[in-house]
Amino acid sequence: MRKFQVNVNGTRYEVEVEEIDANAIPKAAAEPVKAAPVGAGTEVRAPMPGNILQVNVNPGDVVKEGQQLMILEAMKMENEILAPCAGKVTSIGVAKGSSVESGALLCTIA
């Protein structure tokens, strides 16, 4: 934790901020990707908690890098979950209407 003093409209506040790895911050445009064990494929995980509004792929579908896989609603915003790589969707871990936590496995691409 690091302490800072912040001045807001003439009022001074003391705040504590936890320093985290910049790579750990969820990004809607570039979802976190984790390499799976050899032969298992690339895991696509939820960048933040939310609800699955739409699933646009099925197991067995061939996808291109950057293709929309699903839409995750978080904080009243719709976030596109995009394919981090080209390949075949080997599994889908969620369904339309599912509630997910940050880091939840959404699908796997091999």
Question: pLDDT averaged over consecutive 10-residue blocks of the chain (110 residues)?
Answer: 78 76 50 52 93 96 96 93 95 95 94
Beta strand spans in 2-102 (E): 2-8, 11-17, 33-35, 42-45, 50-55, 62-63, 68-74, 77-82, 87-92, 99-100
pLDDT for res 28: 44
Q: What dotted CATH number matches 26-109? A: 2.40.50.100
pLDDT for res 6: 77
Q: Where are the domains of the chain?
A: 26-109
pLDDT for res 30: 43
pLDDT for res 10: 80
